[in-house]
Amino acid sequence: MKINGVEIDDTFAEAFPMKATRIIITAMNLKWAYHAANALRGFATSVIACGVEADIEHELKPSETPDGRPGISVMIFAMSTRQLAKQIPIRVGQTIMTTATTACYSGILDSEETVPMGRNLRYFGDGYQISKVINGRRFWRIPVMHGEFICEESAGVTRAIGGGNFLILGKTARQVLAASEKAVEAINAVPGVITAFPGGIVGSGSKVGSKYAFLGASTNEAYCPTLKGQVKSELPENIGSVLEIVIDGVDEESINEAMRVGVTTACSYGPKKGIYRISAGNYGGNLGPHLFYLRKILS
């Protein structure tokens, strides 16, 4: 199978169950909402070492937020609700509450599972905090030096999927990066998904396991151009660079769509612009139950 002359490998991306929450950050203007959102998603690229995976989902108009101010929707993924409950209060308290003029709300309502936000952070008010219940939702008003920090009691949790992915293989690092950047731009327009790695792109794709017993993940040597001839490589002579795009989403449909638009956009560059092949990362179906077949998604 080829798209615009780019070979699509007959393979699949392997993904696994996760839990996710959506947090709505508002502020006096988008500049400060972005300051908070970017701080919140800091060091949240992979659950391998970061505990959670997080990224901005999209901007929100004042008409789309609980308090009528500009906002940002951020999605946060973890391997369990327990991990989310550990990370969310810390991140919200240290990044959103500390950002001038912000407020924080749950973006998932009527969920059977929740994780604490204002429920824990209210104590920063040192006894001066008060709560209000509006339409069945509890909000905490915490006095701070810029005025008040409004934070919803808890955030809803939903089932999710992590690890959807595809690989872009091309002639040079510059060419593969250009195609990858455009692919991420296209994916960012798909609701319910994030690409948590810096800029949405993984420069150091990994495999499960290592020759070192203390390391749970290590470099994917089969796709490292500098190791051709030293290992069992998946790369022919004309491939000089490989980048990976990893996608977390709320369901299979959203990841399917994100992979479809991402791969299609990358293929639009074609061999004339150094893009030769699309593949995906998997471990034979042993890592997770969700299998995203490239050719099925693109057919």
| DSSP code, position 67 | T
What are the structure tokens assigned to 43, written together? 């060091």
Supply the pLDDT for residue 120: 97
Question: Is residue 36 predicted with pLDDT exceeding 80?
Answer: yes
Q: How far apart are CA 173 and CA 164, in angstroms?
A: 22
Cβ contacts of 165 within 8 Å, gap of 6 or more: 13, 15, 244, 245, 246, 247, 280, 281
**Looking at 27-125, which runs of residues are DSSP E strands?**
53-60, 71-78, 103-106, 113-116
Q: How far apart are CA 83 and CA 19, in angstroms?
A: 9
Supply the pLDDT for residue 123: 98
Banded pLDDT at 208 (limits 50, 70, 90): confident
Banded pLDDT at 64 (limits 50, 70, 90): very high
Question: Is residue 285 predicted with pLDDT exceeding 90?
Answer: no
Average pLDDT rounded to a whole number, residues 263-276:
98
Q: How far apart are CA 142 and CA 121, in angstroms?
A: 8
Banded pLDDT at 287 (limits 50, 70, 90): confident
Helix or strand (DSSP H, E) at 157: strand 154-170
Q: CATH number for the 2-14+161-298 domain, one of 3.40.50.1980, 3.30.200.20, 3.30.70.520, 3.30.530.20?
A: 3.30.70.520
For the chain, domain boundaries: 2-14+161-298, 18-158
Orientation angle between helical segments 173-187 and 252-267, nearest 10 degrees: 140
Question: Is residue 286 predicted with pLDDT exceeding 80?
Answer: no
pLDDT, mean over the chain: 96
Q: What percent of the chain has pLDDT over 70?
A: 100
pLDDT in tens, 93-151: 999 999 999 999 999 999 999 999 999 999 999 999 999 999 999 999 999 999 999 99
What are the structure tokens assigned to 218, written together? 């290590």
Which among 235, 262, 51, 50 is positioned nearest to 166, based on CA atoms? 262
| DSSP code, position 3 | E
Q: How far apart are CA 63 and CA 216, in angstroms?
A: 45
Q: How far apart are CA 128 and CA 286, in angstroms?
A: 52
Supply the pLDDT for residue 14: 94
Burial of 296 (0-12, 13-18, 19+ CB in 10 A): exposed
Average pLDDT rounded to a whole number, residues 51-73:
97
Question: Is residue 284 predicted with pLDDT exceeding 90?
Answer: no
Which among 119, 161, 115 is positioned nearest to 138, based on CA atoms? 119
Supply the pLDDT for residue 246: 98
Name the architecture of domain 18-158: 2-Layer Sandwich (3.30)
Cβ contacts of 137 within 8 Å, gap of 6 or more: 106, 109, 152, 153
pLDDT in tens, 176-205: 999 999 999 999 999 999 999 999 999 999
Average pLDDT rounded to a whole number, residues 210-225:
94
Question: Is residue 248 predicted with pLDDT exceeding 80?
Answer: yes
The backbone torsions φ and ψ at residue 80, rounded to the nearest 5 degrees and listed phi first, read: -155, 160
Question: Is residue 247 predicted with pLDDT exceeding 90?
Answer: yes
Q: Do domains 2-14+161-298 and 18-158 have the same CATH topology?
A: yes
Supply the pLDDT for residue 65: 98
